[in-house]
Amino acid sequence: MLPTLFDETPVKGNWKYEVKYDGFRGLLLIKSQEEIQLFSRNGNDLLPQFPEIHDAVLKIIEEDSWTLPVFLDGEIVLLENDFKSNFGSLQIRGRMKTKENIQKASELNPCSFLAFDLLQSSGKRMTSMAYSERKKELSALFRKAGLPLEVNYGSSARIQMIPSYRNSNQVWGAVRHLDGEGLIAKSEESVWEEGRRTTTWRKMKNWKRAKCFILSHDNSNGYYEVGVFKEKEVIGIGAFYFGISPEEKQALNSIIKENAYQEEKGKSYVHPGLCVELNYLEWYEDQLREPHFHQFLFHEKPEECTWIQFMLDEASLPEPVEVTHPDKPLWESPAIDKLQYIRYLRNVSPRFLSFLKQRPLTVIRLPHGMYGESFYQKNCPDYAPDFVKTVRLENIDYILCNDLETLMWLGNQLAIEFHIPFQKIGSAYVNEIVFDLDPPSRDYFYLAVKAATEMKKVFDQLKLISFIKTSGNKGLQVYIPIPDGYTWKDTHLFTEFMANYLINQFPDDFTTEGLKKNRNNRLYVDYIQHAEGKTIIAPYSVRANEDALVSAPLFWEEVKEDLRPEKFTMKTVLERLKKKGCPFAAYEEVKERQNFREILSFLQSNQRKLQ
């Protein structure tokens, strides 16, 4: 059963709305441990490509959660956030051939099966039931197995459910902010009809808009090549075919034929002159993905179709935010301008915001980039727009960066570094334990690697799940998320114990000496920094240093001798997210699995004995 493309959500009738994920459509049939099938629309066997989904099904069977057979309709995705799948990386995964590469990819950046429909349960066919009834049965099935009833990027569950919403506005805003593909509207009365494209299921795409000009027409296949100006150079951005009516196509072909300056290999070339607006899904591998003609721009001049405007439009910035002076240079080497920085913040925002939310924010601003002075900003300025929320603590109005609008406004203000406390507002407890491993310089970065490696050995023995990131400068920072209920006094007991352990084991390499002159080129284990009122650089924040490094989350297997902080720039961090996913993805989920209560009881008992 396939949806029909519509421009707008339906007005009449009883409709429910689901997020449309950009993945591989898949039908999952579970009969027994030996009979599990996952096949595509064309009937191709997909299960060998996704062993993580196979393992998740086996776990459900072993726990006897469902009465089989069960038949699910859904989407195979590689999630970037709760509302978006990374289709490019999923395609790479789908083309892998060797079992070794497939297994490695499934462990490093696992895919998920997102179920949106139930076709059979306990052997009973449900395709003739109304959509609303099938959805209720699907929810009950997932609830019984303890599986997520909504999509959660940070969940380790490889089988999740796509929920439905009554109000399209409830979910459309999130799809736009998180750069999702679109929505599906489904009639509550609709039955499931195999192989049919129906108007009882309607898809609405989250189109981006591109203003560009015609460059050529390929007479052999009908495609029109388009481009924009990057300063005085013409840059091709792709080609379109769909969306233009026969009448518009005929008129456009006549204009191109009359104005062509060159005919070669079936192509007619024209100088920039005729402007058009296209709809497209994403800018992927330097090409427009799924471009569709939207309208002619007869009143636009080609000079107005610029690379800067194209990149700003592609970023899908929130409407209240205006980017001023996007071409302002911020770093000299590497050459980075304000537009590139804004686009980094936009692209990393789903992960970045998850760490900034509900935390009083301190930023370092560089109004003139690395070419001018910097300053700390704690107080929200008077000129901040109304959508910027604040919290008052100790006579300071701190900004709460809880949403995309605030993040992008801060980016336009050239807030470069984002520093956050270890405690969220409204909570009396500590959110995480963090160790700042600070070597004397980047030349001694190997000491940070050694300290982190030794700490990981201890954490593993204590059954504590830990995470690690670069500081974005010369050190590393180790995180242990903990459940609610622990005070600063509790966490201090643990951080002091770990710091003393490292120093006792390696006195020539590590120290807790506060004065730099007394450290003698040893790494400073800064456990004092983990305290009430103190802050640390947020994961994914850029640093205000000359090489524009990022405080980048790492996978523990990357923490070895050849690790260097210089590897983690805005460009490479975004590439890592697309190819590998976020190393901190499970950060919130692991809190309840931490063995911290038992460890703390042991330390408290020892402390009492010493007293």
As a whole number of angstroms, the distance between CA 334 and CA 500 comes to 40
Nearest residue to 223 (alpha-carbon basis) of 246, 241, 242, 198: 241
- If phi over 0 gives left and psi between -120 and 50 gives alpha, with beta otherwise, what is residue 380? beta
Classified as helix, coil or strand, 285 is coil
Token look-up 């449900």 returns 126
Tokens of 376: 């700390």
Terminal C-alpha separation, the chain: 71
Contact 274, 214 (CB under 8 A): yes
Closest CA to 302 of 278, 277, 272: 272
DSSP assignment of 94-152: HT---HHHHHHHHHHS--EEEEEEEEEETTEE-TTS-HHHHHHHHHHHHHHHT--SS--
For the record, the structure tokens of 288 come out as 């427009």
Q: Give the HSE-up count for residue 550: Cα atoms under 13 Å, Cβ half-sphere.
A: 22
Q: Please give the torsion angle defined by the CA atoms of residues 610, 458, 354 and 281, in that order, rounded to the nearest 10 degrees.
A: 180
Q: DSSP state, 93?
A: H
In sign, the C-alpha dihedral spanning 192, 28, 76, 173 is positive
Residue 585: how many CB atoms within 10 A of its CB? 21
Task: Give me 332's structure tokens.
Answer: 């000299």
For residue 451 the two structure tokens come to 């300290």
In 132-266, which ranges are E strands? 159-161, 182-187, 197-205, 208-218, 224-230, 233-240, 262-264
Query: Residue 455: which region, alpha, beta or left (left: phi > 0; alpha: psi -120 to 50)?
Result: alpha
**CA pseudo-torsion sign 367, 370, 374, 377:** positive
Residue at token pair 């909570």: 427
CA distances from 553 to 337, 340, 444, 472 (A): 24, 21, 20, 10
Using CA atoms, how far apart are residues 26 and 112, in angstroms rounded to an integer? 11
Asked if 211 is an active-site residue, the reply is: no
What 564-570 contacts at long range (C-beta under 8 Å, 24+ apart), as own/partner pairs, is 564/442, 564/445, 565/442, 565/445, 565/470, 565/471, 565/472, 565/473, 565/474, 565/475, 566/442, 568/470, 568/472, 569/334, 570/336, 570/340, 570/341, 570/344, 570/542
* Locus of tokens 């929130």: 318
Pairing of strands 197-205, 208-218: unpaired
Q: Which of 12, 16, 20, 211 is catalytic?
A: 20
Which residues are part of the catalytic machinery? Answer: 20
